[in-house]
Amino acid sequence: MKKSIFLSKSGDVHIGTIAIEGYMPVEKTEMENVIIRTKLKKFWRCHVCNDLYIGKNPPKICPTCKEKEAYVEINEKEFRSFLEIFFQRSLRPGLMDNRIPLPRSHA
């Protein structure tokens, strides 16, 4: 399923298929700015549907697959790897990987 980027008023970020109530959609090209603004927070991934989340605490119930307590903490490198998988060429290369190099064999 196609995933989109959503931003809460408090600055949390959810990347998933179904938006959490009150979250606003964000353009993919804004993703890097969003990550920079939230870099003191933690990265999370739903182990069922691979929704991603940036925030101090992940959603108790995954908005996309409705699984409870499904989010596991991941590091930024893993988070970016999943972003690449979701959005691939729609993100501008060079913006996404200035801190952690990702394989470029497909470029």
CB of 98 to Zn ion, least distance (A): 29
Instruction: Give the angle subtended at the CA of 54 by the CAs of 32 and 59, to the nearest 5°.
Output: 150
CB of 104 to Zn ion, least distance (A): 29
Q: For residues 38 and 64, which CB has a smaller minimum distance to Zn ion in the complex?
A: 64
Residue number with CB closer to Zn ion (20 or 102): 20
User: Tokens for 68?
Assistant: 């409870």
C-beta closer to Zn ion: residue 62 or 74 = 62
Which residue's CB is nearer to Zn ion, number 12 or number 32?
Answer: 12
Residue whose C-alpha is closest to residue 48's, from 32, 38, 59: 59
The closest alpha carbon to 106, from 98, 78, 93, belongs to 93
Question: Least Å distance between CB 44 and Zn ion?
Answer: 10
Neighbouring C-alpha atoms within 13 Å toward the C-beta of 77? 4
Alpha carbon distance 18, 96 (integer Å)? 24
Q: Measured from the CB of residue 40, what is the shortest distance to Zn ion in angstroms?
A: 24
Catalog residues that contact Zn ion under the rule CB under 5 A: 46, 48-49, 51, 62, 64-65
